[in-house]
Amino acid sequence: MKKCLSPLIADSAGFSYDDEFTAAQKIIIETFQNEKIKNKYLYDNMLHQINMRGIDNIEKILNTFNNHCSNNEYLNKIAETYNSMQHLAAGNPAPAFEYNDIKGNLISLTDFKGKYVYFDVWSTSCGGCIQQIPHLIKLEEEFKDKNIIFLGVSLDNNNEKWGNMVIDKELKGIQIRAAEGWKSQFAKDYEIRGIPAFILIDREQNIIDARALLPSENVREVLYKLEGI
């Protein structure tokens, strides 16, 4: 089973995509004189950025990586990962899916057309996912009368374990489970490589952000700015 990703240098410390160099990249470039070590750290950092933050608005970070990494294998791997996620760029249609919810009802993405949808992709074995639960519950309460659906998508293979945690943690919103977990079509279509992962789609079921801010981050400001929320 895949594990939650732990960034080499966490981007949660306030690094901005608008900077020509992120703080993490600056540290790596300025600290490591050994080319092999520098390349490995730059690669790990870049891979984490794409896997956990998607491909939107990362041009400056990507250019910095391409300009400072001299390992062709790493350059090619990042290019492949970046290209594989192009279908998840903002404005593209969100991949369809259909799974049973906690009550056994068949839930389809098309059921939510006309509403914004904020996905929580998680599993019971992911500590980072569990840490987001109190923040998510608070966010759902704040937006309970708004035009948005909160959808939990579990990647658990164990149905009982998933169901028990939904009950124990009193998870709100709509809770479904991608039956094959990390091997599910959902995980493949949405290029899920690490969790927690949050996804935001619009009322026409197009992607707003395939790697949206977490509930513990400032996502509420993004939600309040949505037209017709």
Task: Please state, in angstroms and as integers, the Cα–Cα distance from residue 37 to each residue in 34, 40, 72, 170, following that order.
Answer: 5, 5, 14, 45
Per-residue model confidence (pLDDT) at position 51:
84
Same domain, 108 and 211: yes
Q: Are 66 and 75 in contact (CB under 8 A)?
A: yes
186, 210: one domain = yes
Residues 125 and 76 reside in one and the same domain: no
Q: At 209, is the secondary structure helix, strand, or coil?
A: strand
Is 117 inside a domain boundary?
A: yes
Q: Kindly state the tokens that stand for 76.
A: 């090619």
pLDDT attached to residue 3 = 40
pTM as predicted: 0.83
Q: Are residues 167 and 199 in the same domain?
A: yes
Residues 63 and 121 grouped into a single domain = no
With H, G, I as helix, E, B as strand and everything else as coil, classify residue 214. Answer: coil
6 burial level (CB within 10 Å; 0-12, 13-18, 19+): exposed
The pLDDT value recorded for residue 188 is 97
In the chain, the amino acid numbered 164 is N
Angle (CA) 165 167 172, round 5°: 100
Shared domain check, 114 and 52: no
CA dihedral (228, 149, 193, 186) positive or negative: negative
| Enclosing H/E stretch for 38 | helix 35-53
Token pair in block for residue 14: 């306030």
The Cα–Cα gap between 163 and 185 comes to 21
- Last residue in a domain, options 84, 116, 142: 84
In this predicted structure, what is the pLDDT of residue 19? 53
Same domain as 211, residue 123: yes
Which stretches within 85-204 are classed as H helix? Answer: 127-142, 159-168, 185-189
Instruction: Say if 199 falls within a structural domain.
Output: yes
pLDDT for residue 184: 97
Domain total in the chain: 2
Q: What is the dihedral of CA 66, 190, 144, 136, to 10 degrees?
A: -60
pLDDT value at residue 18: 45
Mean pLDDT by 10 residues, the chain (229 residues): 39 42 85 96 92 85 94 97 94 97 95 97 97 97 97 96 96 94 96 95 97 94 96
120 and 203 co-located in one domain: yes
Confidence at residue 48, expressed as pLDDT on a 0 to 100 scale:
87
Residues 176 and 63 in one domain: no
Tell whether 89 is covered by a domain: no
What residue numbers bound the domain in which 65 lies? Answer: 11-84
| CA-atom Rg of the chain in angstroms | 18
In the prediction, which pLDDT does 150 show?
98
Q: What is the DSSP letter of 95?
A: P
In a domain, 6, yes or no: no
